[in-house]
Amino acid sequence: MQTYDLEADGLRGLNAALQSQSQTTNETAWEVINPRGSHAIAVGLDAPIEVTVKGSTGYYCGGMNAQATVNVHGSVGPGVAENMMSGTVVVEGDASQYAGATGHGGLLVIKGNASSRCGISMKGIDIVVQGNIGHMSAFMAQAGNLVVCGDAGDALGDSIYEARLFVRGSVKSLGADCTEKEMRPEHIAILADLLERAGVDAKPEEFRRYGSARTLYNFDIDNAY
């Protein structure tokens, strides 16, 4: 395992080292110590490596990730796994605003709570939050799955497209064009797989599904002012 002291050696050197790893690298395990809330840790990775961050981070940790696994042994600031393409990001603590924003693929697991706008404009990413999420989560979510094992705040799924939202707890309110939908066998299978991959001990039958009512897809004169 490669150990990198972020306080001693700096962020630029860390990201340069991680981004330079090839598909066939034998330096597959990295440990980052003394992160001290630094921003943009382990961004833009594109190799099958595993990075463990020993502490909490600032903005955009694991952003633009492809292939890599990033484990954060702490909490994260805004925009964790923003624009992720593939791979896995696991947060042992809580996440601030817009976790997983615009993510195209991969799996983001938050073992604590997530703040507002979790999964905003998600485009194929899978997000599993073991705690609660804040208001305006999954705003304009286009594709992918958002799983919430706790409660959801106001305006869940506002202006949603075709993403699937699964919530085990209560939903304070639904956003525009978001509605509760039937949990069919295929959705139970999707959810069961996500819960297993995220290491969550919960039954898919305990969740409710929400998605687009599809009333905003076409122009309606009654909506014009």
pLDDT in tens, 121-171: 999 999 999 999 999 999 999 999 999 999 999 999 999 999 999 999 999
Say if 163 falls within a structural domain: yes
Q: Alpha-carbon distance 225 to 221, whole Å?
A: 9
- The CB-side HSE value for 224 (13 A sphere, CA atoms) comes to 4
* Amino acid at site 212: S
164 found inside a domain: yes
Query: In which residue are the tokens 């990033």 written?
Result: 70
Give me the number of domains the chain comprises.
1
- Looking at residue 216, what is its pLDDT? 84
Q: Quick check: is 223 in a domain?
A: no
Whole-angstrom CA distances from 126 to 5, 25, 156 are 31, 27, 16
Name the 3-class secondary structure at 8.
helix
What is the span of the domain harbouring residue 54? 2-214
Classify residue 221: in a domain, yes or no.
Answer: no
Distance CA 108, CA 126 (A): 6
| Tens-digit pLDDT profile for residues 15-65 | 999 999 999 988 899 999 999 999 999 999 999 999 999 999 999 999 999
CATH number at residue 57: 2.160.20.60
Is residue 219 domain-resident? no
What lies within 8 Å, CB to CB, of 219 at 6+ separation is: none
Residues whose CB falls within 8 Å of the CB of residue 143, separated by 6 or more in sequence, listed in order: 122, 123, 124, 161, 162, 163
